[in-house]
Chains A and B, each alone.
Chain A
């Protein structure tokens, strides 16, 4: 392979052509492929049900026989709107999860690329126009992993999908005021209309336009031939060849100082009281989850249990602490992304003991602490933090003896952490 073609987009010799055709290159990650086809199914369902819902003469945009056909398929028109809303909510949840968990790996690089429009992208659009409309023979400028046309469509989609989701939620759940719902309907239509404009070109290019055929299979199994990559996405090919496609690993950020963290914790606590009327707590979440799990298997014995029965009667999971527990998990994941940490399971321990030993000690300690929290009526967070912040004598007493117990315990067990 010549080295010049890594620097410049040059015509290939027949041998190089054959060589590149044999090699395959990874274009799409499996998550992207899944999301793409999931999106296709959602758009298909939502466009059909959505168009069939709008049958008033002031708004209708599909022929009557179509709306009737869809109504017949779904039985009642109520079923159409329920399907439309259900699929839309599932779609929104999947996209939000994708955005949350795939932000660094998939979404951010993609957004960076599609919004980073270069001269070559404009050149591609101009060349395409000249080829299709004027019938000229053109030479396309080198492209990123998305070409100018794809970028244009992706920008429309990236901007319109949040609009569609927000206006959809406003309509489906009657949020805000009727005046805003009125606008939401119109904006929903416009946003969908803009995407649909690009959609027919997108489908034509992928399904029916021979030069782009390989791209379609790339979206099915993830790979394209290097020859296709070289021709259609030269910049992407060069990056892959030079190994520049992986995002640089950023070092994890330093921990916040305990004093700053304490101040922030106080602010969070204040707002927790202000907004919900409750302080923070964590053992209640674990304990209520346990009650719910036991109850799922043996509802009768949980009900009659002197301790657990108290919680079983009042919907164990319908509690502020449970929602807060889930909030903490989600918030932690957020913090992980923001501070460049990686998600991984690990056992935190001192150097002198093995993983098994650490787990045994943790279970023993956990039993003691868990028992103690139930006697005390709360754990460190609820007793010391929430109780202490409202000057509850029990909370302060707890905090004092927590430190006494902590120092005493450390005297005996600190060697485990060395």
Chain B
């Protein structure tokens, strides 16, 4: 058992976007699609500070990921061994409910494979080397490791203090990507890219209106048939003769 996470030190990040390039080289995502991103924010005024920062983001591998229940076939699932939110490409039908559900916009439908894609902490490289973005970072702003192992470097980084998550009071799915740096930088990120709770229209209609109707209808006819059968047993067998 492990729980992998990441710490991103915004005070170290220079916004060079090398992590985006490394990720793209690793996963060969189509043009204009990225599993990780660096968005430049600022200069903006947060309270009495002038902030200029980069929003280095990717899938947060949340503790309660909203994308997992949104997926009808559960192609998206939280791996119990590693805590990484993974996608089973056999099961993905490319509906994009999870894309809509993600508060961070970390997912996209790959226009070539027609299936969903997102950061998986370079799952195939796990145990061998760090994720591509971590390994390539010129200033070591990104740290990857096991959050449950108290001796790991990442745990020490977090226990140093000044760590934040991107969440609001309303939307907090328990992200496992932590941010370090001046507090005003995190506030600027949340102000510019607030995590949003979104419901998709078809899914809403299904769970609120149609599912009760379909389940009730199918259940009612089934129970109706059952009751009729029990009545029939009670009355004893009769031949179809006495219809006249």
Residues of chain A touching chain B, judged by Cβ–Cβ distance below 8 Å, are 11-12, 53-59, 61, 76-78, 81-82, 132, 140, 171-172, 174, 178-179, 181-186, 189-190, 193-194, 196-198, 200-201, 203-204, 208-214, 228, 231
Contacts and interface: CB of A to CB of B under 8 A. Distances in A.
Interface string B20-46: 000000000000000000000000000
A185 B221 contact: no
B85 to A, nearest CB: 14
Interface string B85-110: 00010110111110100000000010
B3 interface: no
Contact of B221 (A182, A201, A209, A231): A201
B218 A197 contact: yes
Nearest to B229: A208
A182 B200 contact: yes
B205 A198 contact: no
B72 A197 contact: no
Contact of A201 (B90, B211, B225, B239): B225
Contacts of A209: 228, 232
Interface of B: 68-74, 88, 90-91, 93-97, 99, 109, 114-115, 200, 202-203, 205-207, 210-211, 214-215, 217-218, 220-222, 224-226, 228-229, 232, 237-240, 243-244
Given A182-B95, A200-B222, A210-B240, A193 B214 contact: yes
A198 B68 contact: no
A178 B69 contact: no
A16 to B, nearest CB: 12
B91 A78 contact: yes
Q: Chain B interface secondary structure, helix, strand, loop or mixed? A: helix
A210 B238 contact: yes
A120 to B, nearest CB: 16
Contact of A59 (B206, B222, B238): B206
Given A78-B91, A182-B95, A193-B218, A56 B69 contact: yes
A328 to B, nearest CB: 32
A11 B68 contact: no
B206 A81 contact: no
Contacts of B228: 132, 204, 209
A58 B69 contact: yes
A78 B93 CA distance: 12
B243 A56 contact: no
5 contacts: A59-B211, A189-B210, A198-B221, A208-B232, A213-B240
> What 4 A-B pairs have minimum CB-CB distances, sorted nearest first?
A78-B90, A174-B114, A193-B214, A178-B96
Contacts of B239: 210
A188 B215 CA distance: 14
Contacts of A201: 221, 224-225
B237 A200 contact: no
A178 B111 CA distance: 10
A186 B93 contact: no
A181 B93 contact: yes
A215 to B, nearest CB: 10
B188 to A, nearest CB: 31
B215 A210 contact: no
Contacts of A204: 225-226, 228-229
B74 A56 contact: yes
A76 B99 CA distance: 25
Contacts of A200: 218, 221-222, 224-225
A76 B75 CA distance: 12
Nearest to B233: A208
A217 B61 CA distance: 57
Given A208-B229, A231-B243, A81 B73 contact: yes
Contacts of B74: 55-56, 77
Given A174-B115, A201-B224, A204-B225, A186 B202 contact: yes
